[in-house]
């Protein structure tokens, strides 16, 4: 569209961007430099460089055990990186705790679903909104007017967010009893509720059937457009990856072997050998 | 709809407790209660407060702690010392509430002191450390003459009445249940359900774990003050690990996280052994059997299925629109 008018060249580290033109601001949302982690003697990820632009949908793919989830765990400081730096909107996440990183603007979902199973869908998303619900401990204990106002506002907001993923009618269900696909979508909504700048999705379509996956692709695009956030996703479903990712980064044995547009990745011989070829065999 | 259901649930609990307390109060004033039962009223209230407060750490936060009686003892001793010191200066109406506040706050400070170092521990380790903490506190009190040593602290005014204890029960309930449906309570329960997900939702683990610890310690301390003002003297051996385990049993039987369950279990578990005294040698046997039965009732799949069916039938009476919710549940089981 007419995005080109506001387009400014990305000056920071253009070489790392998958698609530099997509970055609309001066700074990338996420700037990862020389990131690496060792588990004992094993180097799980090494020299990982990547920038993700504002409102970009980036894919992170690679064979099983390549280190994709480990990258997400380092981005959210669930694992402390051994080497390298991560900047969110120019601010380093080093030394921060996971909840502080969330407040800086990185939200995520998990490969093995992690919901608050005993609670309602509504409460799960409200927990995602935790830091944005404005009332204090006193209000909590005495249920002051400010408490009621805060709860009312958050309830309305939760329903809005659920609606993006077609789940508004499930607000009162117990999260743990939802079908698999709905649980995955609920995790995304909960992450979205933290008002992130970038959202990390770890295999969002795992276990979904093709029609659910197609729906999910639409949901992710809508989410990006409506909330103007960046998305980085790990996925084995190539239809989804090639369908919605604007840039793709391929990881193999903890190292990036290729970066580029879906077309470039699909025709990259190294990728075909390491990943697609292996899968086809 | 959700809010309404939660509100109704809360209301039932309040009505249950207030109704029960009013009935007992009237019977008591009219002189219809036996001396034995009269003597049990304040201790039952104390047990309820202890159970609700321990439920905040074990039920809401999901951390096993075995030192709850220690917080109670810290509250009891500090509250009693306050009352003894203020016996002549303050009238009872001001002294007793202040004593409870002092006992609660001192216990809360101990909650922080214990909480900070043990926050990094989880599960079995936390249980062992809190158990040790409880024993340390008890031994320290035992060996300081100022606290009266093994023969106990004497001279506390006997200010505890059923009415006051009942009011404190209601306050404890109010705080626990309001907390449960607030962002602070949700954060605590989120840590229980999934620690990593809670962190990834922006919840500060240290703060909310400590909050649960401190609130639980505060009310245990208040219960201790009530306890101290109900007897002629308090001795350290009343606050040993057996006491902590007893409270834990009540919380587990009442159903973790359920305030109403904790109240019911606290009453049954106090009255039962007293009324089984006539059975002499069989007393503990019957007591254990009842414990096992209650446990089965709470956690066996068959019993849960029956309870769910009853609940669904009941909610079906109130609302037809529940149908969708039930369908959703069936889907995941398949
Ligand atoms: N906490 C840990 N301790 C030791 N090794 C680990 C740890 N976490 C991950 N690894 C190792 O790091 C490597 C990368 O794992 P990771 O989970 O990131 O793979 P992945 O790319 O997400 O694979 P998949 O597609 O199967 O999810 C694996 O060899 C794994 O065994
Ligand atoms: Mg993975």
Neighboring chain A residues of B328 at a CB cutoff of 8 Å: 170, 173, 177-179
Whether residue B206 lies inside any domain: the answer is yes
pLDDT at position A124 is: 97
Helix (H/G/I), strand (E/B), else coil: B93? helix
Whether residue B230 lies inside any domain: the answer is yes
User: In chain A, whose CA is at the least distance from the CA of B202?
Assistant: A99
Structure tokens at A268: 């990259």
Whether residue B316 lies inside any domain: the answer is yes
Whether residue B295 lies inside any domain: the answer is no
Structure tokens at A70: 């480990």
B308: containing domain? 300-334
Domain boundary among B264, B286, B308: B286
CA of residue A72 to ligand 2 center, whole Å: 9
Q: Ligand 1: residues within 6 Å at CB?
A: A 39, 44, 62, 64-70, 111
**A18 within 8 A of A249, measured Cβ to Cβ:** yes
Whole-angstrom CA distances from B330 to A118, A152, A185, B121 are: 16, 30, 19, 37
- Predicted TM-score (pTM) of this structure: 0.86
Cβ separation B332–A131 shorter than 8 A: no
Q: Which of B175, B197, B328 sits opposite A177 (nearest CB)?
A: B328
Q: Is A184 on the interface with B (CB under 8 A)?
A: no
**A83 within 8 A of A155, measured Cβ to Cβ:** no
Interface test with B, best of A80, A114, A156, A159 (most B CBs within 10 A): A114
Note whether B238 and B330 are same-domain residues. Answer: no
Note whether B130 and B90 are same-domain residues. Answer: yes
Q: Which of B190, B329, B332 sits opposite A116 (nearest CB)?
A: B190
Note whether B81 and B141 are same-domain residues. Answer: yes
Report ipTM for this prediction.
0.87
Note whether B61 and B131 are same-domain residues. Answer: yes
Whether residue B78 lies inside any domain: the answer is yes
**What pLDDT, in 10s, does the model give residues B45-85?**
999 999 999 999 999 999 888 899 999 999 999 999 999 99
- The residue among A140, A234, A178, A115 whose CA lies nearest residue B200 is A115
Quote the distance between the C-alpha of residue B61 and its chain's center: 14
What residue owns the CA closest to ligand 1's atom 26?
Answer: A64
User: In chain B, whose CA is at the least distance from the CA of A143?
Assistant: B178
CA distance B155 to A148: 46
Q: How large is the average pLDDT for residues B110-125?
A: 82
Note whether B310 and B258 are same-domain residues. Answer: no
Whether residue B177 lies inside any domain: the answer is yes
Cβ separation B183–A99 shorter than 8 A: no
pLDDT at position B189 is: 95
Query: Residues B69-106, buried b or exposed e (16+ Cβ, 10 A)?
Result: bbbbbbbbbbbbbbbeebeeeeeeeebbebbbbbbbbb
Ligand nearest to the CA of A63: 1
Note whether B190 and B332 are same-domain residues. Answer: no
Q: Which of B196, B202, B331 sits opposite A130 (nearest CB)?
A: B202
Cβ separation A110–B187 shorter than 8 A: no
Note whether B204 and B308 are same-domain residues. Answer: no
Neighboring chain A residues of B324 at a CB cutoff of 8 Å: 169
Q: How large is the average pLDDT for residues B266-277?
A: 81
Q: Which atom of ligand 1 is nearest to the CA of A73?
A: 18
CA of residue A130 to ligand 1 center, whole Å: 30
What residue owns the CA closest to ligand 1's atom 25?
Answer: A64
Note whether B306 and B278 are same-domain residues. Answer: no
Q: What is the mean pLDDT of chain B?
A: 85
Whether residue B294 lies inside any domain: the answer is no
pLDDT tens-place values along chain A, 281 residues long: 333 334 333 334 344 556 555 544 557 899 999 999 999 889 999 999 999 988 899 999 999 999 999 999 999 999 999 999 999 998 999 999 999 999 999 999 999 999 999 899 999 999 999 999 989 999 999 999 999 999 999 999 999 999 999 999 999 999 999 999 999 999 999 999 999 999 999 999 998 999 999 999 999 999 999 999 999 999 999 999 999 999 999 999 999 999 999 998 888 888 888 765 554 44
Note whether B308 and B239 are same-domain residues. Answer: no
Ligand nearest to the CA of A202: 2
Whether residue B291 lies inside any domain: the answer is no
* Sign of the dihedral defined by the CA atoms of residues A69, A71, A77, A80, in that order: positive
Note whether B243 and B334 are same-domain residues. Answer: no
> Bigger pLDDT: B83 or B122?
B83
pLDDT at position B78 is: 95
pLDDT at B14 over 70: yes
The count of structural domains within chain B is 2
Note whether B271 and B305 are same-domain residues. Answer: no
To the nearest whole Å, the CA of A159 is away from the closest chain B CA by 13
**A32 within 8 A of A51, measured Cβ to Cβ:** yes
Note whether B187 and B328 are same-domain residues. Answer: no
**What pLDDT, in 10s, does the model give residues B152-184?**
888 888 888 999 999 999 999 999 999 999 999
CA distance B90 to B291: 45
Task: Quote the radius of gyration of chain B (alpha carbons, Å).
Answer: 21
Find the CATH number of the domain harbouring B176.
1.10.3470
What residue owns the CA closest to ligand 1's atom 11?
Answer: A44
**B296 CB neighbour count, 10 Å cutoff:** 11
């Amino acid at each position: 569209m007419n995005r080109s008018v506001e387009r400014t060249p990305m000056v920071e580290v253009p070489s790392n961007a998958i698609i530099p033109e997509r970055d609309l601001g001066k700074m990338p949302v996420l700037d990862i430099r020389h990131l690496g982690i060792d588990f004992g003697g094993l180097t799980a990820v090494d020299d990982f460089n990547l920038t993700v632009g504002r409102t970009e949908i980036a894919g992170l793919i690679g064979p099983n055990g390549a280190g994709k989830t480990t990258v997400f765990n380092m981005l959210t400081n669930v694992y402390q990186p051994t080497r390298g730096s991560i900047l969110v909107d120019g601010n380093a996440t080093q030394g921060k705790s996971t909840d502080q990183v969330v407040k800086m603007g990185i939200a995520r979902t998990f490969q093995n679903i992690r919901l608050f199973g005993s609670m309602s869908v509504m409460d799960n998303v409200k927990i995602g909104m935790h830091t944005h619900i404005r009332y204090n401990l006193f209000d909590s204990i005495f249920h002051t007017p400010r408490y009621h106002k805060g709860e009312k506002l958050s309830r309305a907001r939760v329903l809005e967010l659920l609606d993006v993923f077609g789940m508004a009618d499930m607000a009162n269900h117990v999260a743990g009893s939802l079908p698999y696909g709905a649980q995955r979508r609920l995790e995304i909504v909960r992450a979205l509720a933290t008002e992130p700048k970038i959202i990390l999705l770890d295999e969002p379509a795992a276990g979904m059937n093709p029609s659910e996956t197609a729906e999910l692709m639409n949901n992710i695009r809508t989410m990006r457009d409506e909330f103007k956030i960046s998305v980085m996703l790990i996925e084995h479903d190539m239809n989804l990856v090639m369908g919605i990712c604007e840039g793709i980064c391929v990881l193999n044995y903890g190292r990036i072997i290729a970066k580029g547009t879906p077309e470039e990745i699909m025709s990259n011989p190294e990728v075909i050998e390491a990943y697609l070829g292996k899968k086809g065999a | 709809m959700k809010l309404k259901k939660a509100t109704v649930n809360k209301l039932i609990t309040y009505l249950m407790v207030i109704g029960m307390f009013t009935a007992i109060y009237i019977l008591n004033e009219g002189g219809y209660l036996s001396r034995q039962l009269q003597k049990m009223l304040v201790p039952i209230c104390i047990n309820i407060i202890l159970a609700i407060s321990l439920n905040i750490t074990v039920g809401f936060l999901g951390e096993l702690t075995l030192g709850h009686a220690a917080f109670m003892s810290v509250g009891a001793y500090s509250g009693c010392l306050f009352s003894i010191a203020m016996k002549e200066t303050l009238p009872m109406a001001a002294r007793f509430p202040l004593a409870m506040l002092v006992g609660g706050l001192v216990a809360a400070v101990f909650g922080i002191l214990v909480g900070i170092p043990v926050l990094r521990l989880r599960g079995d380790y936390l249980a062992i450390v809190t158990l040790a903490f409880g024993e340390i506190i008890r031994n320290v009190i035992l060996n300081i003459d100022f606290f009266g040593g093994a023969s106990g602290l004497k001279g506390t005014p006997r200010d505890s009445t059923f009415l006051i204890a009942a009011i404190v029960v209601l306050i404890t309930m109010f705080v626990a249940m309001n907390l449960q449906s607030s962002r602070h309570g949700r954060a605590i329960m989120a840590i229980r359900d999934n620690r990593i997900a809670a962190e990834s939702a922006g919840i500060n683990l240290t703060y909310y774990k400590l909050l649960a610890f401190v609130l639980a310690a505060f009310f245990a301390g208040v219960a201790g003050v009530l306890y101290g003002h109900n007897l002629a003297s308090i001795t350290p051996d009343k606050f040993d690990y057996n006491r902590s385990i007893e409270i834990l049993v009540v919380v587990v039987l009442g159903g973790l996280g359920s305030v109403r369950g904790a109240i019911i279990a606290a009453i049954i578990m106090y009255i039962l052994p007293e009324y089984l005294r006539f059975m002499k040698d069989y007393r503990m046997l019957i007591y254990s059997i009842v414990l096992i039965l209650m446990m089965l009732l709470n956690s066996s799949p068959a019993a849960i299925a029956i309870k769910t069916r009853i609940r669904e039938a009941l909610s079906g009476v109130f609302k037809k629109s529940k149908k969708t919710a039930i369908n959703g549940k069936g889907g995941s089981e398949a």
